[in-house]
């Protein structure tokens, strides 16, 4: 009996550490995409590409990435009930993407300090909450289907 309990504890610890590693990798991937979007603004785009950058990165890539990462967080229940607070972090990162690109370029050009667009925080947070909510819904649906079998 003791061997069985030790084996069970060991396998539980393995699953927990795998879940932690998966969650960390997911966040690192998000931060990598976020960083690449800022770097591409400063290194690869000319001033005439501002509208294209805005559409591609701020309206498509970052919101889709936020949604998908939040969906995966919801499906896998990373961080338990605390996962809902992560939406605020996604909102802040969305606001910082705009602040680190267009606002920073404006501050450099005109030599004045701009206040961040705080309205972007709820926008990014809502995108994240929708993704997490859908992920939780998918997880519940899958578990109900498994129960019926």
Q: With a cut of 50, which residues of the chain have pLDDT below it?
A: 5
Return the DSSP state at 149: -
Reported as a single tens digit per residue, the pLDDT across 56-99 is 999 999 999 999 999 999 999 999 999 999 999 999 999 999 99
| The two structure tokens encoding residue 120 | 């972007």
Query: For the whole model, what pTM was predicted?
Result: 0.86
pLDDT score recorded for residue 121: 97
Return the DSSP state at 58: I
Q: CA 15 to CA 127: how far, in whole Å?
A: 29
pLDDT score recorded for residue 98: 93
pLDDT score recorded for residue 103: 92
Short-list 138, 126, 132, CA closest to 68 = 132
Give the residue ranges of DSSP H helices in 44-148.
Answer: 50-53, 62-76, 86-98, 104-110, 120-148
Task: Give residue 133's domain range.
Answer: 2-148
Q: CA 17 to CA 109: how far, in whole Å?
A: 48
How many domains does the chain divide into?
Answer: 1
């Amino acid at each position: 009996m003791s061997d069985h309990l030790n084996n069970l504890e060991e396998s539980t610890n393995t699953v927990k550490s795998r879940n932690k590693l998966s969650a960390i990798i997911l966040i690192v991937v998000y931060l990598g995409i976020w960083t690449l979007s800022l770097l591409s603004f400063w290194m690869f785009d000319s001033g005439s590409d501002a509208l294209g950058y805005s559409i591609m990165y701020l309206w498509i890539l970052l919101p889709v990435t936020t949604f998908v990462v939040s969906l995966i967080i919801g499906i896998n229940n990373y961080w338990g009930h605390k996962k809902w607070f992560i939406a605020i972090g996604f909102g802040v990162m969305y606001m910082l993407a705009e602040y680190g690109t267009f606002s920073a370029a404006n501050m450099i050009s005109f030599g004045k300090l701009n206040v961040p667009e705080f309205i972007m925080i709820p926008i990014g947070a809502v995108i994240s909450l929708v993704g997490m909510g859908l992920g939780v819904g998918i997880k519940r649906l899958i578990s109900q289907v498994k129960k019926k079998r």
